[in-house]
Structure 1
Amino acid sequence: MGKIGIFLSLLLFSHSSFAQSVQVEGYFTQDSAKLGERVGFVLKARYPESSQVIFPDSTYDLSPLVLLEKKTFISQTQDGETLDSAIYYLSNFSLDPSVYLSLPVYELSRYDSITYFSNEAELKLKLTLDSIPEQPVFQENNVYQPIEKNFNWLLAALIIGGIVLLLGGFALLFAKRIKALFKRNREKIRWLQFERKWKKLTGLLAQNPALELADEVVGLWKGYMESITDLPFQEWTSSEISEALDDKEIFKALRSMDMIIYAGKEAKSEEATNYLLGIAKIKYQEKLNHIRNERATR
Structure 2
Amino acid sequence: MDKKLFYIVYLFLFNLIGTVHGQDRKIEVEGYFQQDSAMLGERVAYVLKVQYGEGSNIIFPDSTYDFSPFVLLEKKTFMSNTSEGVTLDSAVYFVSNFSLDPISNFSLPVYEVFKYDSLVHRPLEVSLALKLIIDNIPDELSFKDNNIYQPIETEFNFPLMIAIILSFALIGLGILFFFGKKIKRRWEIWLEKRKYKLFALKWKKAEEEFAAHPDMNHADELLGLWKTYMEHLKAKPFREWTTIEISDFLENKDIIKDFREIEMVLYAGKAGNNIPKACQNLWNICSDTYQQKITATDERK
What is the TM-score normalised by the length of structure 1? 0.48
- Larger Rg belongs to: 2
What is the TM-score normalised by the length of structure 2? 0.48
